[in-house]
């Protein structure tokens, strides 16, 4: 039993051992979901799925590749017969200043974060529509809201702000089909994105800007994803939920 008992969830970018996606995968599995981890590397995705226990699936899927997204969803539907939840978590960031962003930087960051979210949403939508149910959670960032974080450049802020627009537009369009779409905006969370890259001085500065006085943990973002994915949030759609220790107060 659990909040997602009998449900099937796809989480992209969830192979990273200490990442936000993996934390959600773990929590979802604890709450009774069967989980598919989609990530770039098949072995890593399968290993992460095996960590969750038996019955979970790891697939190689580059979310910037529309056909790959469709193939992954088709394969899961053939195996599971249903999909209830999609967490669009795959993302990359680059710590660049405005004038240093080249076309290739823009393409890479916009493609994974924003295009990937669109393609995965498109891939699951016909099925969710047929069943008139489903919950999609898109991972944005405090960088979208305050125009920059610690590691993201302006192109990352733009991609994550784009996700907020995409979230609201798809929530509006899919509401009639009983499909909810929400965004989570994590603040500064300790994961591999940040591990070992912060000086003591930087940490002091970061903590000073966080009313709760510490970085967040991946499981604290996962808890919010679980809420939005589950029927606890049955009347919540088109929202952006901050998980940032009060950084915007
Ligand atoms: P992470 O680097 O640990 O995990 C990201 C995962 O995405 C990796 O496993 C990577 O292989 C995968 N990935 C990259 N490109 C992909 C592609 N094209 N297709 C499929 N998978 C791909 O990072 P994380 O900190 O766990 O971040 C997860 C999400 O949370 C990202 O969207 C990130 O932007 C967002 N976020 C993180 C923080 C933070 O402080 N860590 C804050 C705000 C938002």
* 152 in Cβ contact with 93 (< 8 Å): yes
Task: List the residue whose alpha carbon is closest to atom 19 of ligand 1.
Answer: 62
Ramachandran region, residue 154 (left: φ > 0; alpha: ψ -120 to 50; beta: rest): alpha
pLDDT band at residue 151 using 50, 70 and 90 as cut-offs: confident
* 158 in Cβ contact with 145 (< 8 Å): no
Q: Measured from the CA of 22, which atom of ligand 1 is nearest?
A: 26
Q: Which of 16, 48, 91 to mutate to test ligand 1, by most ligand atoms within 8 A of the CB atom?
A: 91
| Cα 91 to middle of ligand 1, angstroms | 4
Q: Measured from the CA of 160, which atom of ligand 1 is nearest?
A: 34
Task: List the residue whose alpha carbon is closest to atom 12 of ligand 1.
Answer: 13
Taking CB atoms and a 6 Å cutoff, what residues make up the pocket around ligand 1?
A: 12-13, 15-16, 19-21, 39-40, 61-64, 89-93, 112, 116, 139, 141, 186, 188-189, 191-194
ipTM over 0.90: yes
Alpha-carbon distance of 22 to 148, in angstroms, equals 24
What is the structure's pLDDT at 135? 99
pLDDT band at residue 148 using 50, 70 and 90 as cut-offs: confident
What is the structure's pLDDT at 68? 98
pLDDT band at residue 224 using 50, 70 and 90 as cut-offs: very high
Alpha-carbon distance of 191 to 18, in angstroms, equals 6
What is the structure's pLDDT at 230? 98
What is the structure's pLDDT at 173? 98
In the predicted structure, residue 193 carries a pLDDT above the cut 80 = no
pLDDT band at residue 7 using 50, 70 and 90 as cut-offs: very high
Q: Which of 184, 170, 95 is nearest to 139 (CA)?
A: 184
| Catalytic residue set | 156
How does DSSP assign 154-169, residue by residue?
HHHHHHHHHHHHHHHH
Architecture of the domain whose range is 8-241: 3-Layer(aba) Sandwich (3.40)
pLDDT tens readout for residues 49-68: 999 999 999 999 999 999 99
Q: Measured from the CA of 17, which atom of ligand 1 is nearest?
A: 3
Q: Measured from the CA of 152, which atom of ligand 1 is nearest?
A: 34
Domain spans of the chain? 8-241
What is the structure's pLDDT at 196? 74
pLDDT tens readout for residues 111-147: 999 999 999 999 999 999 999 999 999 999 999 999 9
Q: In sequence order, which residues have a C-beta less than 8 Å from that of residue 10 and are 6 or more positions away?
A: 35, 36, 38, 72, 73, 76, 83, 85, 86, 87, 120, 124
pLDDT band at residue 195 using 50, 70 and 90 as cut-offs: confident
Which residues on adjacent β-strands are paired with residue 241? 184
Ramachandran region, residue 134 (left: φ > 0; alpha: ψ -120 to 50; beta: rest): left
Backbone φ and ψ for 162, nearest 5 degrees, come out as -60, -40
Q: Which of 93, 158, 193, 244 to mutate to test ligand 1, by most ligand atoms within 8 A of the CB atom?
A: 193
In the predicted structure, residue 201 carries a pLDDT above the cut 80 = yes
172: its two tokens: 């509006």
Residue 21: Cβ-neighbour burial (10 angstroms; 0-12, 13-18, 19+): buried
What is the structure's pLDDT at 112? 98
Q: Measured from the CA of 19, which atom of ligand 1 is nearest?
A: 26
| Cα 146 to middle of ligand 1, angstroms | 19
What is the structure's pLDDT at 238? 99
pLDDT tens readout for residues 164-173: 999 999 999 9
Strands 134-139 and 85-88, by their bridges, are: parallel
| Cα 159 to middle of ligand 1, angstroms | 13
pLDDT band at residue 207 using 50, 70 and 90 as cut-offs: confident
| Cα 169 to middle of ligand 1, angstroms | 23
* 125 in Cβ contact with 74 (< 8 Å): no
| Cα 95 to middle of ligand 1, angstroms | 14
pLDDT tens readout for residues 169-188: 999 999 999 999 999 999 99
For CA atoms 141, 145, 150, 151, give the dihedral sign: positive
In the predicted structure, residue 36 carries a pLDDT above the cut 90 = yes
What average pLDDT does range 142-154 have in this prediction? 88
Q: Pick the residue with more confidence: 163 or 194?
A: 163
How many residues belong to the chain?
249
DSSP-based three-state secondary structure for 240: strand
């Amino acid at each position: 039993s659990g909040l997602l008992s009998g449900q099937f969830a796809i989480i992209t970018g969830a192979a990273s051992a200490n990442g936000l996606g993996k934390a959600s995968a773990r929590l979802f599995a604890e709450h009774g979901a069967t989980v598919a981890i989609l990530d770039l590397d098949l072995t890593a995705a399968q290993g992460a799925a095996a960590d969750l226990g038996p019955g979970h699936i790891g697939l190689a899927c580059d979310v910037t590749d529309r056909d790959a997204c469709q193939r992954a969803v088709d394969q899961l539907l053939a195996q599971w017969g249903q999909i209830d939840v999609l967490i669009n978590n795959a993302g990359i960031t680059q710590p660049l200043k405005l004038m240093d962003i080249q076309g290739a930087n823009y393409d890479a960051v916009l493609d994974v974060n924003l295009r990937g979210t669109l393609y995965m949403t498109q891939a699951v939508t016909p099925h969710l529509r047929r069943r008139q149910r489903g919950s999609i959670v898109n991972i944005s960032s405090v960088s979208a809201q305050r125009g920059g974080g610690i590691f993201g450049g302006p192109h990352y802020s733009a991609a994550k702000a784009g996700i907020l627009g995409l979230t609201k537009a798809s929530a509006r369009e899919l509401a009639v089909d009983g499909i909810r779409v929400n965004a989570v905006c994590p603040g500064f969370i300790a994961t591999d994105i940040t591990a070992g890259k912060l000086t003591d001085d930087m940490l002091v500065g970061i903590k000073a800007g966080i009313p709760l006085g510490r970085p967040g943990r991946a499981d604290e973002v996962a808890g919010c994803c679980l809420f939005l994915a589950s029927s606890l949030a049955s009347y919540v759609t088109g929202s952006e939920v901050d998980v940032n220790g009060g950084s915007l107060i």
